[in-house]
Structure 1
Amino acid sequence: MSMFDYLIVGAGLYGSVFAREAALAGKKVKIIDIRSHVGGNIYTEEMEGINVHKYGAHIFHTNDKKVWDYIQQFAEFNRFTNSPMANYKGQLYNLPFNMNTFHQLWNVTTPDEAKTIIQTQQAEFGSSEPSNLEEQAISLVGKDIYEKLIKGYTEKQWGRPCNELPAFIINRLPVRFTYDNNYFNDKYQGIPIGGYTKIIEKMLDHPNIEIQLGTDYFSQKEQLNSEAKKVIYTGMIDQYFNYEYGHLEYRSLHFDTKVLDIENYQGNAVFNYTDSETPYTRIIEHKHFESGNQEKTVITYEYPVEWTPEKEPYYPINDKKNSELYRKYYQKAQSEQKTVFGGRLGLYQYFDMHQIIKVALQTFKKVIADN
């Protein structure tokens, strides 16, 4: 006999939101994770009094007030404004592309001057339909911005030349003709005071929720499935089906985190390194997410690496080949009576945090209505 209404595989943001809503609805939930902690990739760990984003920088942003109000239940947020800097061979540029960037590139001071240069470079590209990311980028922002601020970073990130990447990856690049360094256009933006882990812990703090960490779902799949009426699976969809149609592709990341005996290393939370020679894509200085005044600082070098099964899958590669393969798995998943697939890996789609919350809430409503 089933002991739980839901077995949730993965204690990240998607699984935790679903678990919370199910528990509030009076359902008994067991949530498991192969890692030794909850939170998935938004997990933060305190080091030297600083909340360190262990799996890369996470800045919460949304225009959806319902989602913003939902996440506010679990933490107080500061008003962090994401204003990353780009370092190209020692030259510094503001991101996203705005009037500060254009002044740094071309010494222009007015929007009309910047527009003229960009339009001239766009015209040099021609009017044909872009067939790859390189052509798409040049058609949108011109050659200078592409070569200094897009090409090297993107090729490191995806492990492929830009002219071999699909154009849709950068269908829309943010270009502003104002002196505004705020990376996001969203109305609501911030970092939870005290870190993201506390959000997940508060979500899962309910008597109807049992948490089991350090648990490999696939090593005891039959037993775990027998304990619940329904399975909410947030792992890799191809792994669930034992790679029946082949492996989906991902990009992985390697993080090198260091504690430095200085108060301030780079003066900003995020520095992107956009040349191709620098092996890492960015350096994160975590204390700047919460305006810390600690005596030491913690920085993380972020290196994109080719994914292999023993590594963490971070970014789905949604090119034509992988999209066609995913469709096969998606169709097979529709025939699963007991299992619901969700999250970035279960849906083979990159989500921002606010999108994950919205999808998890929508899925819960649908699942509860069907049962």
Structure 2
Amino acid sequence: MEYSYDYLIVGAGLFGAVFANEATKRNKKVLIIDKRNHVGGNLYCENIEGINVHKYGAHIFHTSNKETWDYINQFVEFNRYTNAPIANYKGKLFNLPFNMNTFYQLWGVTTPEEAKNKIDEQREPYLNLKPKNLEEQALHLAGKDIYETLIKEYTEKQWGRPANQIPAFIINRLPFRFTFDNNYFSDLYQGIPIGGYNKLFDNLLKDAEVLTNVDYFENKMLFDELAEKVLYTGKIDTFFNYKLGILDYRSLHFETSIHNTPNYQGNAVVNYTDKETPYTRIIEHKHFEFGNQDKTVITKEFPHEFSKDNEPYYPINNQDNNLLYSSYRYLADSLSHKFLFGGRLADYKYYDMDDTIEAALKLSNTEFNGQILYSEKLQVEI
């Protein structure tokens, strides 16, 4: 059969774009489609008042894998942005992640030894717990003050249910840093693309044919006949028309507004950890790129239940959902002669951006039988 394309890629997010770039570098003919009116998936930036606004929530690139960092820097230059979020609990501010600044703000302690002793004291009533839920896990790991001020109400907003009904595995561990270091990530490399994420996708997709405002499922049979192979990056249960059941997610919606001030909150990310505030955080986008515009743009982030009518953001990887996903994956693997599956929705995993890139490169490595065109180190194993 004569095909118009070697690969049809469904979804122009990071996974699909990286795979498309690897394919086109090997002279494969690629068509990439997306139901949204833009490429870039959740990394898409909208320019408002000269500010790159992260339309689908804050995205900060970070990795400790030098090969992944070098790979992505082929396409765009990154700035030196360091993520140092602030927590606001009923008007009181605390540094995140939990570090000596946080412990000083909570208890007035000034040395690592004092902080460790205070945490041990806080944990002591809960040390014999065998945690059955998130509340018990947090108390066991951190004690009452940290749990009630910085974890409980924020997490309940995120997940839409009481902390004693949330699985303990959500916080398997809590990192404590006994230094005055507000850098949220411990990775060696982090930053924001200079000029926004759209530049990254312009370069990744420069040799692919791209169609937006196209719903794959409205003409699935026609699209499948266009290419020898199809890479699907959407929800795996949707691909199979939910024949085994629906996978659960948490969703978000965003309220973005322009303010006639050069600086609204003094930080890119402020989390609101009290239950009275309906949103979980406010993003002030200009701080990602050290902007000096006269106005500013903020986004409030509201978590809510997922339905077919809104966007899936966070998979709920409990035992039932993981078992259901495994069944869908079994079906997907049986179609591997024609269909490839990958990305956070098809893999039903929470991926950071570096995870997504590495997974896309791993798939391309397998698909192209070792015809590696990226760095020598990446071709060993990723």
TM-score greater than 0.5 by the shorter chain: yes
Residue 258 of structure 1 is matched in structure 2 by: 257
- The corresponding residue for 1:137 is 138
Cα distance between partner residues in 2 of 1:53 and 1:317: 24
In the alignment, the residues of structure 2 paired with residue 219 and residue 43 of structure 1 have an alpha-carbon distance, to the nearest angstrom, of 24
Within 2, Cα distance between the matches of 1:137 and 1:315?
A: 20
CA distance in 2, matches of 1:195, 1:330: 34
Other-structure match for 1:23: 24
Matches of 1:135 and 1:29, distance apart in 2: 50
When structure 1 is superposed on structure 2, of 356-365 and 168-177 the one drifting more is 168-177
2:228 aligned partner: 229
Structure 2 CA distance for aligned equivalents of residues 277 and 326 of structure 1: 35
Once residues 369 and 151 of structure 1 are traced to their aligned partners in structure 2, the CA distance between those partners, rounded to angstroms, is 48
Find the counterpart in structure 1 of residue 248 from structure 2.
249
Aligned to 1:149: 150
- SS of 2:368's partner is helix
State the distance in 1 between where 2:140 and 2:4 align: 57
Instruction: Give the structure 2 partner of residue 218 of structure 1.
Output: 217
Question: Which letter does structure 2 place at the counterpart of 1:296?
Answer: K
Provide the rounded CA distance (Å) in 2 between the counterparts of 1:326 and 1:219. Answer: 24
Question: For residues 267 and 162 of structure 1, what CA distance do their matches in structure 2 show?
Answer: 31
Gaps of 5+ in 2: 372-382
- Aligned match of 1:288: 287
Aligned to 1:60: 61
Measure how far apart 1:201 and its partner are.
1.1
Corresponding residue number in structure 2 for 1:274: 273
Q: Deviations over 1:152-191 (max 9, x none)?
A: 1111111121111111111122210110000000010101
Structure-2-length-normalised TM-score:
0.95
Cα distance in structure 1, aligned partners of 2:47 and 2:16: 23
SS of alignment partner, residue 168 of structure 1: helix
For 1:25 and 1:168, locate their aligned partners in 2 and report how far apart those are by CA, in whole Å.
Answer: 42
Q: Deviation at 1:127? A: 2.1
Name the CA distance, whole Å, in 1 between partners of 2:370 and 2:354: 25
Matches of 1:272 and 1:250, distance apart in 2: 21
- Distance of 1:5 and 1:140 partners within structure 2: 52
Confirm or deny: 8 A CA contact 2:158 2:280 kept in the other structure: yes
Q: Deviation string for 1:47-73 (max 9, x for gaps)? A: 111110000000000000010001111
Contact 2:129–2:136 (Cα < 8 Å) also in 1 = no
> Aligned with 1:252: secondary structure?
strand
Query: Structure 1 residues 51-60 or 317-326, which shifts more?
Result: 317-326
Q: Map of 1:291-310 to 2, 5 A cutoff?
A: 291-310=290-309
The whole-number CA distance in structure 2 between the counterparts of 1:115 and 1:154 is 24
Please give the alpha-carbon distance, in whole angstroms, between the structure 2 residues aligned to 1:162 and 1:363: 37
Give the letter for the 2:343 counterpart.
G
Deviation of 1:330 (Å): 1.2
The residue that corresponds to 1:364 in the other structure is 364
1:370 CA drift (Å): 9.2
Q: Percent identity?
A: 62
State the secondary structure of the residue aligned to 2:219.
helix
SS at match of 1:346: coil
- Distance of 2:342 and 2:167 partners within structure 1: 25
SS at match of 1:284: strand
Tell me if structure 1 keeps the 8 A contact 2:255–2:301: yes
Counterpart mapping for 1:1-371 below 5 A: 1-206=2-207, 209-336=208-335, 337-369=337-369
TM (norm. structure 1) is: 0.98
Cα RMSD (Å): 1.1
Structure 1 residues without counterparts, runs of 5 or longer? none
Query: Whole-Å Cα distance in 2 between the matches of residues 245 and 118 of structure 1?
Result: 46
Task: Give me the whole-angstrom Cα distance separating, in 1, the residues matched to 2:139 and 2:191.
Answer: 32
Read off the aligned partner of 1:352 and give its amino acid letter.
Answer: D
Partner-residue secondary structure (3-state), 1:182: coil
